[in-house]
Structure 1
Amino acid sequence: MTRKKRIYKKNKIVRGEPPNYLGQHLMHNKKLLLKIVNEAAISPNDLILELGAGKGALTEILSQRAKKVLAVEYDKKFIKILEKKIANTKNTKIIHQDILKIKLPKEPFVVVSNIPYAITTPIMKKLLNYPFHPFQKGVIVMEKGAAKRFTSNYVKDPYIIAWRMWFDICYVRDISRRNFSPPPRVDSALVKICRKTNPIVPYRDYLIFWGLVDYMYKNYQFPIDDALKGVFTAQQIKRLKRILRINNDIPVAALTEQQWGIIYETMVKYVPNFRWPKIRKGKLKHF
C-alpha cells in the first residue's frame, strides 16, 4: 500500500504533489531588495543559496555580488522567467526542485531569500537543526509572526532554544505587505542569522543538548523544578537555581540561552550520563 502525499492549500490539507511555492509572495520594491542584499554583506567569494527565487528580482542582485548563486525554485512558470533573466549570467545556477528536498551545499554558504510563508519553519529547521552543516549566515524575509516567534525572549518551541546554542537570530526590521505581489494578508519581517563565533554548546554534543531541551520542553509552561526532575537530584536543582538566579515560578520558556548553557554544562559535569535524556538523531527531522 503506497502512502499518498499531502500538501497544504491555504489552511487545508489536500492530496497530491507538494508544490512548495504555495504561500510565496514576490517582492517588487527595488530599493528594499538592495537593502536586503546589503544587510547580508556578501563578499565576492561567497556561495549564495536563494530559496524560492521566484522571478529572479533578488537573484539578479545576488549574482552581481557573489562568487556563485544557487537559485532554488519549484514553480515551472517562474523557472522559464528565471532562465531568460540569467541567460548571460555564468555564476548562477537554477535548481528546479522542492526546497525541502534539496541537498545543502557541502562548502560554506550564505542564504539570502524571500521564502514561501507556507514552509517557513521547515526551512529554518533544515538550515539550523544540525549545527555542523556549513551554513554560515542568512538574511531571510519571512512572515512577521514567524519572525517574532523565532526571536522572542519567551520561547515556546524546543528547536528554537537548540538553534540559539549555535546561531544568533535577530529581528532586523518590519516589511510592509505593500512591497509584495500578490500582497499577503499579513506583514513580513527581515531576520538575520549568524553562526556564533563561540557556540554555547560544542557541535560534537549537539545530540546531548537536543535530548536535554526535548526532555525539559514536555510543557514549556512547566516551572523549572518540574522540568529538571528525573535528570538532576533535588539538591542539584536547588544549587543550580542559585547559580541561575531564578525562583520556583519561572517557566522553562523564560530561560535565556545563557541559562540553558549553564544547565547543559552542569548536567555534563555533575550528572551521571545514564541519567542524561536521550534523543534519536532521526527525530530531529520531525521537530
Structure 2
Amino acid sequence: MSAQSFGGRHELGQNFLADPAVIAAVCTAAGRTTGPLVELAAGDGALTIPLSRTGRPLTAVELDPRRARRLDRRTGEHVKVVHGDLLRHRLPDVPHTVVGNLPFHLTTATLRRLFRQPHWELAVLLVQWEVARRRAGIGGASQMTAAWWPWFEFAVPARVPAHAFRPRPAVDGGILVLTRRPEPLVEDRAEYQEFVREVFTGRGRGLGGILPRTGRLSVRAARTWLARQRLSPRALPRDLTAGQWASLWELAR
C-alpha cells in the first residue's frame, strides 16, 4: 500500500493498520464464527481485503467517500462497501460478526451502540489500549464493563504498539474481543444496571460501606457476602468479577 494511502484525515480520527501480524491476528479472531461480517471504519481496506478472502458476506462501512469508492473498486461481488457513519449504520437482523479498527475518539460511543444491538455474536475491535484494558477488567473493571458483563464476555488477546498504525497515534492500541453470552448471567437489565451505577457512584470506604448505603443490603448481609467471596470490606466496585456482580445482584434485588 502506498504512503499516500496512509494519509489519514485527522478530523475522521483515522489511524490505519500497517502491521501484517496485527491484521492477521484480527482476522483470525473474527474467524471463530461463520456467517456475515460487518467491518466498521474500513479505511483503505487493511482488514477488508484479507477478510474478503474468507468468502463470507462482508459489509465494509467507511465515512470518507473517496476511500469508500476506491475500496469498492478493489473488492469482489460478495463485499458491499457502504459510504456511511459507523454510529448510524444499520446492522444485520441475522447473526453476524463485527470487526473494526475504530477511531479512538469514537470507541465509547461505538461500544454503547453495539451493546444495544441484538444480533451480533462476536466483535473484534482495535481500540485505544487503555480502553481495551479497562473494558476487559485488567487492573479493575469500569462501570460500563460491570453494567454489560452479564451479557458479554470481554477479552484482550493482544496489545498493539503505536508503530503498527499510520499515521502513528500518541498511544498504543489493543485488540478487544467481545463475545455475546449464550445465556445472560442476570435478568432485568435496566434494574441491574441502575444497581451497578448506584454501587460505582456510592459513598463509602469500600464495598463494606457502599453496599448498605444503596438501601438494598444490610451491613451484616454486605459483610457476609464479601466474606464468602473472600473480599475485603475495603474492596472497590472495580475489583468485582462478572460472576461476583451476578451473585451480588441476586442478593440485592
Q: Shorter-chain-normalised TM-score: which range?
A: 0.7 to 0.9
**Contact 2:126–2:176 (CA<8 Å) still a contact in 1?**
yes
- Checking the alignment, whether the CA contact within 8 Å between 1:69 and 1:92 is kept in structure 2 is yes
1:84 is matched with which residue: 66, 73, 82?
Answer: 73
Matches within 5 A, 1:163-242: 163-202=148-187, 205-219=188-202, 222-228=205-211, 229=213, 230-242=215-227
Q: Which residue of 1 aligns with 2:52?
A: 63
Q: Do 2:92 and 2:119's aligned partners in 1 also have CA atoms closer than 8 Å?
A: yes
Question: Residue 21 of structure 1 contacts residue 52 of structure 1 at CA under 8 Å; is this kept in 2?
Answer: no
SS of 2:201's partner is coil
Listed one character per residue, the Cα deviations across residues 187-242 of structure 1 (whole Å, up to 9, x for unaligned) are 2121222222443224xx21121111011111587511332221223343233333
Counterpart in 2 of 1:74? 63
Q: Which residue of 1 aligns with 2:130?
A: 145
Is the aligned partner of 1:102 residue 2:89?
yes
> Cα distance 1:20–1:184, how it changes in 2: closer, same or farther (>3 A)?
closer
CA contact (8 A) 1:155 1:161 kept: no
Tell me if the contact between 2:156 and 2:174 (Cα under 8 Å) persists in the aligned partners. Answer: yes
The Cα of 1:267 is off from its aligned counterpart by 2.1
Please give the secondary structure, in 2, of the residue aligned with 1:199: coil
- Does 2:102 align with 1:119? no
Alignment partner, residue 19 of structure 2: 29
2: CA distance between counterparts of 1:243 and 1:223?
16
Deviation, 1:160, is 1.0
Cα distance in 2 for residues equivalent to 1:241 and 1:93 = 51
Structure 1 pair 68/221, CA: closer, same or farther in 2 (3 Å)?
farther
Q: Answer with 101-110 or 24-33: which moved more.
A: 24-33
CA deviations over 1:140-186 (Å, ceiling 9, x no partner): 11111211221234446321112221222111112222222111122
1:80 counterpart SS class: helix
| TM-score calculated relative to the size of structure 2 | 0.86
Unaligned runs of 5+ in 2: 1-8
Q: TM-score, normalised by structure 1?
A: 0.77
> Structure 1: where are the runs of 5+ without partners?
1-18, 269-287
CA distance in 2, matches of 1:182, 1:20: 9
Q: What per-residue deviation string (whole Å, max 9, x for no partner) do you get for residues 79-103 of structure 1?
A: 12112112xx111112222111222
Using the aligned pairs only, state the percent identity: 24
Q: Distance in 1 between matches of 2:104 and 2:236?
A: 30
Separation of aligned partners in 1, 2:203 and 2:56: 43
Aligned residues: 243
Partner of 1:134: 119
Kindly provide the amino acid, as one letter, of the partner of residue 239 in structure 2.
A
Aligned-residue Cα RMSD (Å) equals 2.3
Q: CA deviation at 1:120?
A: 0.9
Do the aligned partners of residues 21 and 105 (structure 1) sit closer, same or farther apart at CA in structure 2, a change above 3 Å counting? Answer: farther
Is the partner of 1:99 in helix, strand or coil?
coil
1:20–1:119 contact (8 Å) kept in structure 2: no
Contact 1:46 1:66 (C-alpha < 8 Å) held by counterparts = no
